Amino acid sequence: KNQVEQSPQSLIILEGKNCTLQCNYTVSPFSNLRWYKQDTGRGPVSLTIMTFSENTKSNGRYTATLDADTKQSSLHITASQLSDSASYICVVSAEYGNKLVFGAGTILRVKS
Protein backbone atom coordinates (compact mmCIF):
# COMPACT_ATOMS: atom_id res chain seq x y z
CA LYS A 1 0.00 0.00 0.00
CA ASN A 2 1.29 3.45 -0.92
CA GLN A 3 1.90 5.42 2.24
CA VAL A 4 3.62 8.60 3.34
CA GLU A 5 4.54 9.03 6.99
CA GLN A 6 5.72 12.29 8.47
CA SER A 7 7.39 13.01 11.77
CA PRO A 8 7.18 14.57 14.19
CA GLN A 9 3.44 15.12 14.27
CA SER A 10 4.00 18.54 15.81
CA LEU A 11 6.95 20.66 16.77
CA ILE A 12 7.51 23.85 18.77
CA ILE A 13 10.73 25.82 18.31
CA LEU A 14 12.03 29.24 19.25
CA GLU A 15 12.33 31.94 16.65
CA GLY A 16 15.74 31.91 14.98
CA LYS A 17 16.34 28.21 15.58
CA ASN A 18 16.65 25.56 12.88
CA CYS A 19 14.49 22.47 12.57
CA THR A 20 14.19 19.37 10.41
CA LEU A 21 11.01 17.59 9.40
CA GLN A 22 10.98 14.00 8.19
CA CYS A 23 9.04 12.18 5.49
CA ASN A 24 9.23 8.42 4.86
CA TYR A 25 7.33 6.86 2.00
CA THR A 26 6.52 3.48 0.53
CA VAL A 27 5.11 4.77 -2.76
CA SER A 28 6.30 2.74 -5.69
CA PRO A 29 7.32 3.23 -8.42
CA PHE A 30 8.41 6.65 -7.32
CA SER A 31 8.04 9.70 -9.57
CA ASN A 32 8.54 12.79 -7.43
CA LEU A 33 8.26 14.18 -3.93
CA ARG A 34 6.94 17.58 -2.97
CA TRP A 35 6.92 19.62 0.19
CA TYR A 36 4.08 22.05 0.84
CA LYS A 37 3.39 24.66 3.48
CA GLN A 38 -0.22 25.04 4.54
CA ASP A 39 -1.56 27.84 6.67
CA THR A 40 -4.72 27.03 8.59
CA GLY A 41 -7.78 27.21 6.38
CA ARG A 42 -5.80 27.88 3.22
CA GLY A 43 -4.65 25.84 0.27
CA PRO A 44 -1.12 24.37 0.41
CA VAL A 45 1.71 26.35 -1.15
CA SER A 46 4.54 24.55 -2.92
CA LEU A 47 8.02 24.73 -1.37
CA THR A 48 10.04 22.19 -3.36
CA ILE A 49 9.64 19.34 -5.79
CA MET A 50 12.27 16.67 -6.34
CA THR A 51 12.64 13.74 -8.68
CA PHE A 52 14.59 10.61 -7.80
CA SER A 53 17.79 11.96 -9.35
CA GLU A 54 17.84 15.02 -7.10
CA ASN A 55 19.37 14.78 -3.64
CA THR A 56 18.78 18.29 -2.41
CA LYS A 57 16.84 21.38 -3.39
CA SER A 58 16.61 24.76 -1.72
CA ASN A 59 14.00 27.48 -1.67
CA GLY A 60 15.22 30.34 0.46
CA ARG A 61 15.45 29.16 4.06
CA TYR A 62 13.91 25.82 3.14
CA THR A 63 16.14 22.94 2.05
CA ALA A 64 14.74 19.56 1.10
CA THR A 65 16.77 16.38 0.79
CA LEU A 66 15.82 13.10 -0.79
CA ASP A 67 17.30 9.63 -0.42
CA ALA A 68 15.51 7.49 -3.00
CA ASP A 69 17.29 4.36 -1.79
CA THR A 70 15.99 4.57 1.76
CA LYS A 71 12.80 6.35 0.63
CA GLN A 72 13.30 9.21 3.01
CA SER A 73 13.08 12.95 2.66
CA SER A 74 13.67 15.79 5.03
CA LEU A 75 12.79 19.47 5.07
CA HIS A 76 15.25 21.70 6.90
CA ILE A 77 14.17 25.17 7.94
CA THR A 78 16.95 27.59 8.77
CA ALA A 79 16.67 30.59 11.08
CA SER A 80 12.96 30.07 11.70
CA GLN A 81 10.56 32.98 11.71
CA LEU A 82 7.15 33.38 13.31
CA SER A 83 5.61 33.22 9.84
CA ASP A 84 6.95 29.70 9.43
CA SER A 85 4.25 28.50 11.81
CA ALA A 86 2.12 26.23 9.63
CA SER A 87 1.53 22.64 8.63
CA TYR A 88 4.18 21.12 6.36
CA ILE A 89 2.98 18.40 4.08
CA CYS A 90 4.96 15.82 2.13
CA VAL A 91 3.33 14.58 -1.08
CA VAL A 92 4.61 11.67 -3.15
CA SER A 93 3.40 10.68 -6.59
CA ALA A 94 3.93 7.31 -8.21
CA GLU A 95 5.17 6.97 -11.76
CA TYR A 96 2.14 5.01 -12.79
CA GLY A 97 -0.07 6.21 -9.98
CA ASN A 98 -3.44 7.76 -10.32
CA LYS A 99 -3.34 9.32 -6.89
CA LEU A 100 -1.10 11.78 -5.15
CA VAL A 101 -0.27 10.35 -1.74
CA PHE A 102 -0.27 12.93 1.04
CA GLY A 103 1.40 12.68 4.40
CA ALA A 104 -0.56 13.77 7.45
CA GLY A 105 1.72 16.76 7.88
CA THR A 106 3.87 18.19 10.64
CA ILE A 107 2.43 21.13 12.53
CA LEU A 108 5.20 23.62 13.26
CA ARG A 109 4.83 26.40 15.76
CA VAL A 110 7.53 29.05 16.05
CA LYS A 111 7.55 30.97 19.33
CA SER A 112 9.15 34.31 20.04
Partner 1 sequence: DGGITQSPKYLFRKEGQNVTLSCEQNLNHDAMYWYRQDPGQGLRLIYYSQIVNDFQKGDIAEGYSVSREKKESFPLTVTSAQKNPTAFYLCASIDQITRTYRPGNTIYFGEGSWLTVV
Contact, 5 vs 92, CB < 8 A? no
Q: Shortest Cβ distance from residue 95 to partner 1 (Å)? A: 6
Q: Is 46 in the site for partner 1 (CB under 8 A)?
A: yes
Nearest to partner 1 of 18, 87 (CB atom): 87
Q: Is 49 in the site for partner 1 (CB under 8 A)?
A: yes
Nearest to partner 1 of 22, 32 (CB atom): 32
Contact, 4 vs 23, CB < 8 A? yes
Residues sharing a CB contact under 8 Å with residue 41, sequence separation 6 or more, in sequence order = none
Query: What is the C-alpha to C-alpha distance for residues 35 and 91, in angstroms, rounded to an integer?
Result: 6
Would you tell me which residues interact with partner 1 (CB under 8 A)? 6, 31-32, 34, 41-44, 46, 49, 51, 89, 91, 93, 95-100, 102-105, 107
